[in-house]
Structures are given as structure tokens and as C-alpha cells.
A = this chain, B = another copy of it.
Amino acid sequence: MAVQGPRPLDEREMAAWHALIRSHNRVIRRLEAELEAERGLSLPAYEVLAHLSEAPEQRLRMSALAVHAVLSPSGLTRLVDKLAREGLVRRDRCGADARVIYAVLTPEGLERLESAYPVHLRGVREHLLDHLSEQQCDALVDALGGLSGIGQADCAAANEVEVAAAAECDAAEAALADTTA
């Protein structure tokens, strides 16, 4: 018997697929263009700053940050290079493990983030949320929320590693401080 490939998309499926691709494309492009034009931040850069601002002590190890910002390790290294050159982020060594680097939000970084936040927020509203009713919002979460499951799991895992490592690191540094004192 003939080996059958997957069934072709029917109209409904095609529409759903295209809706996801096109709407994302549209929203992201506009958001990115506005953020870049008005505040000189790329979307990945904004996300890095935003994640740092929400992290304890406003710092994250590079590996965790890469997972959050959905960047490769090398991509993150270069982005942090760039942000550091602009003074928005600083690199700190971890006392407990010399391999680990913490990216730390600087006051300038926080300031830039706060100036970019309304632009980002406005864009998200204007290009996405303003076009959705509450019901549509919920439907979107219902339909797509499950899909990002693994992504969220990755983030959660990264968070755990982060928290554990941070605790360990703090402990080690405290011990070091005691010894030094």
C-alpha cells in the first residue's frame, strides 16, 4: 500500500497557521522598529534588560539569561558585550564558581529600560491587545498557552538552576567575607 504523507491542511487549519505566522510577524516587526527608533534598543536587548530587572538583585548568569531571552550562548555573549559597551549592563564574576558570569543591570540600564517600557507597552497594546476582546485574549491563551509548555519548562529549569546557583554563590561569598573579615 502507498505510504501516505500527512493529510494536507484544510481551510480552517491553513487559516490558523497563517494567522499565527502573519500576526506575529506584523506585531514583532512594528514593535522592534518602534523600540529601535525611539529608544535605540533591539527587542532582544529589551528582553535582556527586562529579565535582569525582574531577577533577584537584578542579575542573572549568562546561561540562564540566554534561556530566558531565547538566544544562543554566543548570541547572548555578543549582546551583553554590546550592552556593556553602552554601560547598560555589567559583568560580575561569581565568587563560588569562576566559570560563571553574572550579567548585572546598571543604573543606566534600568533607566534605559524604564524609558523603553512605555514604548514597548504601547506597542504591545496598539499592535496586538487593542485588537482583541477579553474573550479573544482568553481564547488565545487557551489555544496557544499549552504550546509554550516546553519553553516555560525550560525557563523554570533555568530559574531553578539560577536560584540554586545564586544561593550557593552567595553562601560561598559570605563564607569568603567571613574569612576575610
A121 part of interface (Cβ distance < 8 Å): yes
Query: How long is the Cα–Cα vector from A57 to B150 in the complex, in angstroms?
Result: 43
Report the copy number of this chain in the oligomer: 2
Q: How large is the interface on A (under 10, 10 to 19, 20 to 34, 35 or more residues)?
A: 35 or more
Query: How long is the Cα–Cα vector from A130 to B142 in the complex, in angstroms?
Result: 14
Residues of A in contact with B (beta carbons under 8 Å apart): 5-6, 8-9, 12-13, 15-28, 70, 117-118, 121-122, 124-125, 127-129, 131-132, 134, 136-148, 150-152
Can you name 24 A-B pairs with beta carbons within 8 Å? A5-B121, A6-B118, A6-B125, A9-B124, A12-B137, A13-B129, A15-B137, A15-B145, A16-B137, A17-B124, A17-B128, A19-B141, A20-B144, A22-B147, A23-B145, A23-B148, A25-B151, A26-B147, A26-B151, A27-B147, A136-B139, A137-B143, A139-B140, A140-B144
